Amino acid sequence: MKDDVLRMAPGFGATREDVLRAQDRLKMRIIRREGRWMRLIWLLAGPGILVMLGENDGPSMVSYATTGATYGIGFFVPFILLTFAMAFVVQEMAVRLGVATQRGHAELIFQRFGPFWGYFAMWDLVFGNLLTLVTEFIAIQAGGLYFGFPAWVSVGFGVAAIILSLALRRYATWERVLLGLAVGNLLFIPAALFAHPSAARLTHALLTWGPLPHKTGAAFFTLILANIGATVTPWMIFFQQSAVVDKGLTRHDLPQGRIDTAIGAAIAAACGIAALAAAAPLYRAHIDVSAFLSGADFATALKPLIGTTGASLFALGIIEAGLLAAMTISTSSSYALAETVSAKHSLNLDFSSGWVFYSAAIISALLAAAIVLIPGAPLLAMTLTVNVVATLLMAPALLLLLLLANDHEIMGDLANGRLANAAGGTIVVVICLVGTLYGLITVFPTWLGP
């Protein structure tokens, strides 16, 4: 098996990217042959966990906190579980596409649907990613403000972290560094424990899907849309499919890829519910969060209710959520843009070979950071709005995903079956219906009441 790597040596015309990926594949083949399944799962884990915890980003955690502060523990606890089940269905298709085609999502759209839909999908993604990147820096800035750091220091730290992560020039190392950072998402769980949530109420909410809030007007449906946008967004599809290819996963690795995605969904759902529970004391204290400007206001308002330690954990969690998402989302844009212009696209590339790939991430990060530092920007409103916009952009991305997953010419026996199509089709319909309802609320704001 070492011959595989030797044949990839630079003297045989292979690139550094080829050699590194061949080394990774060799290690996995040896471990698979030895039957060390837990070790194999550990090595193959990454894209699924990163995409799910990356989606537990700054705006998502603020959306969950806003939900808990507005409605307390009830309807939205099982709703968050449902949205992550939806995310698993979507991302499992992305994993199958990656292992079946060994092509990134943007590249595959160009090949199967032509330039028009290729550019449409790319700009849909880039626009949504830039908006989301802005809110990630808002989250980093908000957490820093709670600890007394000026905005420019926190934002500058975020940009530097993205650039330094790209400087690793090794997909496996980049992935492990980000997985280590992703552990910080668990900070919301002890923060929630400091809020002393009622176990009976949490259990009742999960088992009975309730209680439904008494007021289900425009604010309720906006939070419904924001919570969906906090879980299922276009960048996730592009990132995970490209990361699966960059990691070198094959058909043999599909079961582990599914486990990786399921574990990520379960952890992310638990952390999302924890953020809601941590902010629930604001609901019990009848504190109006509509005037809050950022995640820092949540931590400050929670301090007298859950203590300094709990509020500090919440603020640190917001920083981690924004930082991890900024790294994964900027990389998602890099994959898509480089694939669109047929440039090399891998985290195994050196800078001279992958300057298009790396430049896309760096430029998008610098642009988003500059927008955040504009004085007087309505930060909380921007954060919630981005999740809503992400949901509205999701329908066309899902339709293209479903069409690709049903393309037997490229998928073979990994194409969608009836169950996958039923689940995927239902998600598309639900997102379209909720998006339509949000549009009606926007046009007729008094239709459903406040």
pLDDT digits over 117-161, tens only? 888 888 878 888 888 888 889 888 888 888 989 988 999 999 999
Q: What is the pLDDT of residues 70-118, one digit of tens each?
A: 888 888 999 999 999 999 999 999 999 999 998 888 889 988 888 888 8
Quote the CA–CA distance of 80 and 268 in Å, as a whole number.
10
Structure token pair of residue 285 = 């204290």
Distance CA 106, CA 118 (A): 7
Which residue in the block uniquely carries the two structure tokens 């926007």? 442
- Do you find a cis peptide bond into 59, omega within 30 degrees of 0? no
Cβ density class 61-99: b for 16+ within 10 Å, e for less: bbbbbbbbbbbbbbbbbbbbbbbbebbbbbbbbbbbbbb
- Phi, psi dihedral angles at 376 (to 5 degrees): 80, 10
Tell whether the torsion through CA atoms of 335, 338, 343 and 347 is positive or negative. negative
Domain boundaries, the chain: 36-443
Q: Do the Cβ atoms of 266 and 53 come closer than 8 Å?
A: no
Q: How many CB atoms lie within 10 A of CB 121?
A: 25
Tell me the backbone φ, ψ of residue 15, rounded to 5 degrees.
-95, 170
pLDDT band at 169 (very low <50, low <70, confident <90, very high): confident
Which tokens in the block code for residue 115?
């330039």
> Which pLDDT band, with edges at 50, 70 and 90, does 6 fall under?
very low
Q: Tell me the per-residue pLDDT of 175-220, one tens digit each, with 9 for 90 and over.
A: 888 888 888 999 999 999 999 988 888 888 888 887 777 766 677 8
pLDDT at 447: 58
CATH number of 36-443: 1.20.1730
Contact between 261 and 52 (Cβ < 8 Å): yes
Q: Which residues of 14-33 are buried (b: 16+ CB within 10 A; e: fewer)?
A: ebbbbbbbbbbbbebeebbe
Are residues 295 and 139 in contact, defined by beta-carbon separation less than 8 angstroms? yes
Query: Residue 226: what pLDDT?
Result: 77
Which of 176, 171, 220, 194 lies closest to 17 in space, CA to CA? 171
Confidence of residue 267 (pLDDT cuts 50, 70, 90): very high
Q: What's the pLDDT at 21?
A: 63
Q: Which residue has the tokens 């000026």?
A: 150
Least confident of 139-143, 149-153, 244-248, 295-299: 295-299
d(CA 304, CA 297): 12
pLDDT in tens, 371-406: 888 777 666 666 666 766 766 777 788 889 999 999
Torsion of CA 185, 178, 60, 67, to 10 degrees: -10
